[in-house]
Chains A and B, each alone.
Chain A
Amino acid sequence: MSLVFLPEDMNWRCEPCGVPLEPGKVELAYLGQVFHVELPVCPKCGAAFVYEELALGRIFEVEQLLEDK
């Protein structure tokens, strides 16, 4: 089951493709561990958007944990 991480404001567009981002399933991998989450994704090129609060919060703490820090 994926955890859903979407910004409160989903009004984001993929700049190269010029299309609105949509919720999509993403695999995050780090140091051999894989996490299945749902993030804003460009439906055209597949790029996922990791917004600042998620990057500096959950993802940062998970990185520290996996790095044994």
Chain B
Amino acid sequence: MRTSELYASAPVRATLGRALRPGGEKLTRRMLELAGPLRSALALDAGCGCGASLVLLEEYGARAVGLDLNAGFLRESSGRKLKVARADLAELPLPDGCADLILCECVWNLTDKERVLAEFLRVLRPGGVLALADIYARGYRAGEWPVRCCFAQATDLQTVMEQVAGAGFEIDVVEEHTELLKKTAADFVFRHGSLHGFWQAVTGDPDLAVAACEASKAARPGLFLMMAYSGGK
């Protein structure tokens, strides 16, 4: 089995719960604190999943809207009176300059990255904030990932910064949060006996599991947080 939705697989969901990403609420809260006062701000959660961060955005006083391609996740979030819609992040169904904040957590690597950054820039008001968290590669590995997932399109952090700045954003903060990713990987090991056991549970294929372990060892995935502004602060 090859999956484009590692985050949606049963082994991942059993460990991560509603947040669907390493770091959970802790990383989201850190980004919302860095974003500054959010009362009445229009905040888009780009790739909102089951809506865990939408609940936090509302807690911070923002008017939160979530978009995701996964209809199943949106259905899960619908019981909580959250404003969500199904959409491709490369074609946001939103007018120019409408959003004060875009939150994008461990989703960007799964998208057409440059098109999505261009859409984020279009939809943010001048001075609006992009809060981006995702996997990056701390090591080097050539070739395709054996399992299509959020690691597959991850690059080194310098490339991430060049892409974000190249799209027209002004980068304000970059933080390293790899410890949170390691904690998640360790939780997978405890639950599945080993990382190989985890990848086997995800892929159902022992050879793919070996290949995924080797790829991970070479790429040495890390987790970053970035705050970037549209058109200056």
Contact = CB atoms under 8 A, between A and B. Distances in A.
B179 interface: yes
Interface in A16-36: 32-33, 35
B182 interface: yes
A37 B195 CA distance: 18
Interface string B187-214: 1011101110000000000000000000
Contact of B189 (A32, A37, A61, A68): A61
Contacts, number: 32
A45 interface: no
Interface residues of A, number: 12
What is the interface of chain B mostly: helix, strand, loop, or mixed?
helix
A10 interface: no
A52 to B, nearest CB: 15
A6 B5 CA distance: 33
Nearest to A28: B190
B183 interface: yes
B185 interface: yes
Interface of A: 3, 32-33, 35, 37, 57-58, 61-62, 65-66, 68
14 contacts: A33-B183, A33-B186, A35-B186, A35-B190, A37-B190, A57-B194, A58-B189, A61-B189, A61-B195, A62-B189, A62-B190, A65-B182, A65-B185, A65-B186
